[in-house]
Structure 1
Amino acid sequence: MNLTRVSPEGLLLGAGLDHLLGDPRRGHPVAGFGRAASWVERRVYKDSRARGVVFVGIVVGGALGVGVVLDRVGKGAVSRAVVTGVVTWSVVGGTSLGREGLFMASALERGDLEAARGRLSHLCARDPKGLESAELARATVESVAENTSDAAVAPLFWGAVAGVPGLVVYRAVNTLDAMVGYRNARYERFGWAAAKLDDVANWIPARVTGLLTVACSGSADAWRVLRRDGANHPSPNAGRCEAAFAGALGVRLGGANSYGGEVERRPEMGDGRAPEVRDVRRAVRLSKRVGLAAAGTAALVAWRLR
């Protein structure tokens, strides 16, 4: 018997709510978690890895406790499905990711570079200053590819194998990485544990994302580029998603990116042309298909494990 009481119906319900409604507009639980994590950070911060481990232990441990309590709320199959559905809706962000991508597409299509630069921070931490249309398009396609795993595939994967606690803990880990997992003066040591834990949590989902991208695109190039270039990225996970998208879309991703005034040169992935503005909408459509496939796959896995 599965002790986490995974509900495949609940996973489908939550994915459906995300597809129809996007993120909750008010009182988003992830925003509340972020505020609580910031409160803990202010009290335990020290420029050391050990303090970062303590920080992650407190915050992720608390999230696990909340997940276990929520998991025990539903005693019957219907109530369990409802609880799982609401939690899944709260932690899956595929529709919001698509909306951000479409905003960028619209801004770039009408030539409003200032609007696109101002919105890029919703997708990635890349410095937008001075980026022209082509670089903004590449940044968006890369971010949509990578975040398809973080926003959709990974939470559904953990929900399928670990139920409500898996959903809650994954989103906690991923949120902490977004908050402190940076290589800068403040977080290089303190954020080390959060970044490494996020790498572990996303290792399998990123590779599942790559495979689902191949399946949803029906592209032999997606499989070829995934196998050849997926490991070239400095991240152990992002490259799997970006390489598969590059092959599926027939574009070439990678190159020079600026973060906090420092330029990183990343290996190129794919054999096609540089991304263009029109590729942003193509990436969003592919991401949506991958997210829907992930929901069906997660429900099937949960049903088999039940």
Structure 2
Amino acid sequence: MNTAEILLLALLLDALLGEPRWLWDRFPHPAVLMGRVIGAADKRFNTGSARILKGGVLIAALVLAMLLLGKFIALFGWLPQLLLAAILLAQRSLVDHVRAVGKALRLSLGDGRRAVAMIVSRDTAQMDQSAVTRSAIESAAENLSDGIVAPAFWFLIGGLPGLLIYKIVNTADSMIGYRTARHEEFGKASARLDDVLNWIPARLTGVLIAATHHGLGQWQDIRSDAAKHRSPNAGWPESAMARALNAAIAGPRAYDGEMRDFPFVNPDGRRTLGPADIDATCTALWKTWGAMTAIILLIALF
């Protein structure tokens, strides 16, 4: 079974089963194990001087470890590769988490705030309905790139080692790749490598979202908005998703009690948003997933 065939089956398996609670209530998820390793390394090595060097050595060691682990698991054939790939792809889980925000918001604004706080890091206590919805849409778009398209892309390029390398780098970036006093230096290498690994997948995600909705006629606008984003990659799926929904997203938001004046993505889009827009986002996630899966099917066949 070739790499594209394994990936195709993994995508379908994830879409059907998602993340079974009974399994992860009993055993740690591989992503959780990656996080524990990175957390332990952060405590052990993120001290003293030469933190940039220490962080660089850490991510290089993690990449090498994932390369060797992936090659070792691949020796046992296609089935363990299929199962691990299905576990590390997160389409069904992403849709479930985003849809939960819409369901909660239909109950009350407080429920919506609590639900969206599970998937974003910004302050949620003062959000109105539109802010909760915008946050859910942004998270959906960014995680579509980071959690589905990018892992699938690197599995297709590098097999299981490629997928594991991407996941360890992305996990490291999410834990230590911040511009804070503690992680500015230690997490720099992880953050920069994550930017490199997501460069193509982020733009590919934007293309897939746009192509499955209004086509690529707005690509120049998507590109323009993406260039304003603080991340070199996250703006592409967010801008494409905003235009797919005709919604203005991003904009000012608070972190740790401090309001930050970020620009709106698709500023001419609708600004009054609600649960129906979250439902539309989930539909867009599946349409984009379907287009990507169809491409992988063609690759597997030909």
Is the TM value for this pair above 0.5?
yes
What's the offset of the Cα at 1:302? 5.9
2:36 paired residue number: 35
How large is the RMSD of aligned CA atoms in angstroms?
Answer: 2.0
Alignment of structure 1 residues 61-140 onto 2, 5 Å: 61-74=64-77, 80=78, 82-111=79-108, 113-140=109-136
Preserved CA contact (<8 Å) 1:11 1:156: yes
Quick one: distance in 1 between partners of 2:284 and 2:153?
19
* Alignment-derived partner of residue 169 in structure 1: 165
Residue number in structure 1 paired with 2:280: 282
Counterpart residue identity of residue 289, structure 1:
K
Unaligned runs of 5+ in 1: 75-79
- Size of the aligned set, in residue pairs, is 293
Deviation at 1:41, TM superposition (A): 2.3
SS of residue paired to 2:202: helix
Amino acid corresponding to residue 136 of structure 2 in structure 1: T
What are the within-5 Å matches in structure 2 for residues 124-273 of structure 1?
A: 124-219=120-215, 222-270=218-266, 271-273=268-270
1:54 maps to which residue?
57
Equivalent residues of 1:158, 1:166 under 8 A apart: yes
The separation in 1 between residues aligned to 2:112 and 2:128, in whole angstroms, is 10
Give distance in 2, aligned partners of 1:6 and 1:267: 44
Deviations 1:49-85 (A, max 9, x none): 22211221222222222111112221xxxxx2x2332
Output one character per residue of 1:134-182: Cα deviation in whole Å (capped at 9) or x when no partner: 1111111111111110111000011111111111111111111111122
After TM superposition, give the deviation of residue 218 of structure 1 in Å: 3.2
User: C-alpha distance in 1, partners of 2:96/2:218?
Assistant: 24
The AA in structure 1 aligned to 2:293 is A
Indicate the larger mover: 181-190 or 114-123: 114-123
- Secondary structure of 1:73's counterpart equals coil
Instruction: Give ranges in structure 2 of 5+ residues lacking alignment.
Output: none
Please give the alpha-carbon distance, in whole angstroms, between the structure 1 residues aligned to 2:165 and 2:18.
20
The one-letter amino acid of 1:175's match is T
Which region of structure 1 is more displaced relative to structure 2, 124-133 or 258-267? 258-267
CA distance in 1, matches of 2:185, 2:116: 26
Distance in 2 between the 1:6 and 1:296 partners? 16
1:106-136 Cα distance to aligned partner (Å, 9 max, x none): 111121x333333334322112121121111
Deviates more, 1:11-20 or 1:210-219: 210-219
In the TM superposition, residue 297 of structure 1 has moved relative to its aligned partner by 2.3
Give how far 1:254 is off: 2.3
Query: Do 1:6 and 1:302's aligned partners in 2 also have CA atoms closer than 8 Å?
Result: yes
* Residues 253 and 297 of structure 1, relative CA distance in 2, 3 Å threshold: same
Which residue in the other structure is 1:45 paired with?
Answer: 46
- Aligned counterparts of 1:119 and 1:51: Cα–Cα separation in 2: 37
Post-superposition offset of 1:227: 3.0
Q: CA deviation at 1:224?
A: 4.7
Tell me: CA distance 1:264–1:192, structure 2 relative to 1, closer, same or farther (3 Å). Answer: farther
For the structure 1 residues 125 and 136, does the alpha-carbon distance in structure 2 shift closer, same or farther, using more than 3 Å as the test?
same
* Alpha-carbon distance change, 220 to 159 in structure 1, aligned in 2, over 3 angstroms: closer
Distance 1:295 1:46, change over 3 A: farther
The alpha-carbon deviation at position 10 of structure 1 amounts to: 0.9
Indicate if the aligned counterparts of 1:157 and 1:298 stay in contact, CA closer than 8 A. Answer: no
Q: Distance in 2 between matches of 1:281 and 1:114?
A: 19
SS in structure 2 at match of 1:274? coil
Asked if the contact 2:226/2:235 (under 8 Å) is kept, the reply is yes
Report the CA distance shift for 1:283/1:275 in structure 2 as closer, same or farther (over 3 A).
farther
| Contact 1:156-1:295 at 8 Å conserved across structures | no
SS in 1 for 2:252: strand
